[in-house]
Structure 1
Amino acid sequence: MYKERIKQLMQHEHIITEATYILFMDPLNIYYVTNLYAEPHERFFGLLIDMKEKRTTLFLPTLDLEKAKKEAENVDEFIPVGDTENGYAKLAAYMKEKSAICFIEKNYMTVAQYEALQKETGISSFKEVEQTIMNMRLRKSTLEIANVKKAISITEDALYEIIPCIKIGMTENEIKSKLETALRNLGAEKIAFDTMVLTGENSGLPHGEPGDRPIQYGDFLLFDFGVFVDHYCSDITRTFAIGNVSAEQRRIYETVLRANEKAIEAVILGDPIKNIDHAARTVIEDASYGAYFTHRTGHGLGLEVHEALSIHGENEEKITEGLLFTIEPGIYKEGVGGVRIEDDVYVHPNGEVEVLTSFPKQLTMIDAK
């Protein structure tokens, strides 16, 4: 798999015709083409691909060398970089063509890194490689989806485990702590992003932060969270009711649920991505809540929680096989609270659409006495 990825990268039309070198410094992209994941922190870490020689050289912290030799694929040579050594100077020795064109991750590389690279190599012509590698990462293999499913399973099992523990008076932070403990006990390698547990008026904040707000009767309780397993992540949102809720709260919930379901129905191979957003937004607008749906309908995920693609109403790109993304419409009304329902959706190579998340979506009342 990794050999095929690097072959595909090197044979990409504009890279094979323009690039002298490709330099990856993002650990996720290095992992994607070599099977080696390392977190270098402030240390030098880079994968150099020499297009002329068809040779790969990995520059890495000395302390990661033995791990790399055991795990890395598609690497012809390992160059350890000590803590007191200049990694860019070592790299420059392998980039001798000063008139070269080097493809780099412009969105990842800092200005300081770029200046150091330019200074040591003497190369002045740089182009971006992100679009190419992200287009490759966009289409997930069955092995990648298997890892995502493991992450989803842990996520949902933890939610099942935590719901019976919720009691009136518990704070958002208390529930968050219990949830994250359950996630780790079930096998999560790490939490995918800052877990959101929001109740009452806080649930009306799309990117709210858990605090000391206690759960009260009649609240919405919103969970938005995920985990990593084997480097791939899950992302799920479910909203519950604490005891009975008002007629408007119920109407908001049912509207979001219909929007979620209609958006999933709109995932059709070959259709524009914007159709997914339009399907969800139309339901919410028809219910007179359009002003309270303030974000896109979804995003890609995989090695990162937010990857390409972006599901919004102006995206003309086509729905293609291999896409993995969220569908997460929401309504957030001040004084009432908010509801978001989020699923992870995969488009199989044959066009079949699979909703990977399976936690029930019907409005659930939690008896939190």
Structure 2
Amino acid sequence: MNKRLQLFSDWLQEQHISLALITSSPNVFYLSGFWCDPHERLLALLAFPEGEPALICPQMETARARQTGWEYEIIDYDDTANPWELIARHVQARNIAVEQIAVEKSHLSLERYEQLHTYFQAHTWLNAEEKLRQLRMIKDEKEIAILRQAAQLADYAVEVGVSAIREGKTELDIIATIEYEMKRKGVREMSFATMVLTGKNTANPHGVPGQTPIQRGDFVLFDLGVIVDGYCSDITRTVVFGSATEEQKAIYNTVLRAQLAAIDACKPGAPIGAVDRAARTVIEQAGYGPYFTHRVGHGLGIEIHEYPSMNATNTMPLERGMTFTIEPGIYVPSIGGVRIEDDVFIADDGVGILTAYPKELIVV
């Protein structure tokens, strides 16, 4: 049994949990090494405090599951079968007295819970998510190496985007260029919908790219990432096309100082909230406090947003192996917005930075 599964099974044993049914694709991947988007079908992993786990997946995915190295039982099913009944039979064959079941409460739908409850009327339903978040939050060296590869490709994607800027090109034009070049690099999937925003659209932190053309004097904001071997990168850079006003320079340099202050606050043992406050203090002292409208970052790994949440009230201490983003921003509706984002990790002696595209103000 791999280390991750063993640690999870040990937790089940410590908590006297009869079994766990893990149903989210990211957590199934974390524990099994098998990534699958089953759409409406059930994908699940059965874990026990003792004994071998089992994978439940659509029959059409069985061969892929085996190819990933899964060596334990696979309970596969076709589109006419009831997978819940197959799960119940498997558990009954183990002669387990089912009293406590751990599930992902935020992922398991009410409909699926009712199906599960039909076969398992456990005395207690427990949440497995907190334990899985703790396990996934601390990355090992192999995971950080993969995240570094993903970050390097994200750097290249920004380089492609900046090089493609021309007056009159639209946000979607630039996105098309970026994603075409990433496919040529062998990237199958972006971490999320690539964001290129220009002009006043940049004042919306999660703006929706469209047919807005780039004009001289515009901020152009890139927020993007790629997936490598199941792990995500996430980078934001903001440039100016043509020439920058003094106000644009002031906003940009304030965000840059805030981002560098937050990175400098990233040390083993430091409370997460101090990282957010380091960036926020710089922005507030410059008079732009009301225009920094989100937390300073988020955990990063198999999912684009993971634990920990890098917000000002989080008292959790930073630990070696945590990976997350640092991405302060200022968004002024009448002018536009600036965000600068890097992917970082906590090392023994401080912080390591995975993304490397230049951060000084670039005027294209």
**TM-score range normalised by the length of the shorter chain:** over 0.9
Alpha-carbon deviation of 1:98?
6.0
TM-score (ref. length: structure 1)? 0.95
- Quick check: 95-104 or 209-218, which moved more? 95-104
1:105 counterpart residue number: 104
- The one of 79, 85, 89 equivalent to 1:89 is 85
Amino acid at match of 1:356: L
Amino acid at match of 2:86: K
- Is 1:78 the counterpart of 2:78? The answer is no
2:55 counterpart residue number: 58
2:125 counterpart residue number: 126
User: Counterpart of 1:47 in 2: which secondary structure?
Assistant: strand
User: Counterpart of 1:55 in 2: which secondary structure?
Assistant: coil
User: Counterpart of 1:308 in 2: which secondary structure?
Assistant: strand
* Contact 1:237 1:343 (C-alpha < 8 Å) held by counterparts: yes
User: Counterpart of 2:320 in 1: which secondary structure?
Assistant: coil
1:23 counterpart residue number: 21
Identity of aligned residues (%): 39
1:353 counterpart residue number: 351
Q: In structure 1, how many angstroms separate the alpha carbons of the residues matched to 2:119 and 2:202?
A: 51
Q: 1:110 to 1:15 in 2, by over 3 A?
A: farther
Q: C-alpha deviations, 1:259-282, integer Å up to 9, x for none?
A: 000000000111111010010000
Unpaired runs of at least 5, structure 2: none
Amino acid at match of 2:25: P
Amino acid at match of 1:89: E
Alpha-carbon deviation of 1:95?
2.9
How many residues get paired?
361
2:318 counterpart residue number: 319
Q: Tell me the C-alpha RMSD between the 2 structures.
A: 1.4
* Contact 1:98 1:122 (C-alpha < 8 Å) held by counterparts: no
Q: In structure 1, how many angstroms separate the alpha carbons of the residues matched to 2:5 and 2:283?
A: 44
Which aligned pairs between 1:155-166 and structure 2 lie closer than 5 A?
Answer: 155-166=154-165
User: Counterpart of 1:78 in 2: which secondary structure?
Assistant: strand
- Quick check: 144-153 or 302-311, which moved more? 144-153
- Is 1:335 the counterpart of 2:331? The answer is no
* Contact 2:98 2:120 (C-alpha < 8 Å) held by counterparts: no
1:267 counterpart residue number: 266
* Contact 1:118 1:124 (C-alpha < 8 Å) held by counterparts: no
Which aligned pairs between 1:162-181 and structure 2 lie closer than 5 A?
Answer: 162-181=161-180
* Contact 1:24 1:46 (C-alpha < 8 Å) held by counterparts: yes
Q: C-alpha deviations, 1:287-346, integer Å up to 9, x for none?
A: 000000000000001000000111111110001110000000000001100000000001
Q: In structure 2, how many angstroms separate the alpha carbons of the residues matched to 1:124 and 1:184?
A: 50
Q: C-alpha deviations, 1:110-131, integer Å up to 9, x for none?
A: 1111111111333352100000
- Quick check: 119-128 or 229-238, which moved more? 119-128
Q: In structure 2, how many angstroms separate the alpha carbons of the residues matched to 1:272 and 1:122?
A: 41
Q: C-alpha deviations, 1:158-191, integer Å up to 9, x for none?
A: 2223322211011111111111111221222201
Q: In structure 2, how many angstroms separate the alpha carbons of the residues matched to 1:11 and 1:273?
A: 28
Alpha-carbon deviation of 1:365?
0.4
Q: In structure 2, how many angstroms separate the alpha carbons of the residues matched to 1:57 and 1:180?
A: 37
TM-score (ref. length: structure 2)? 0.96
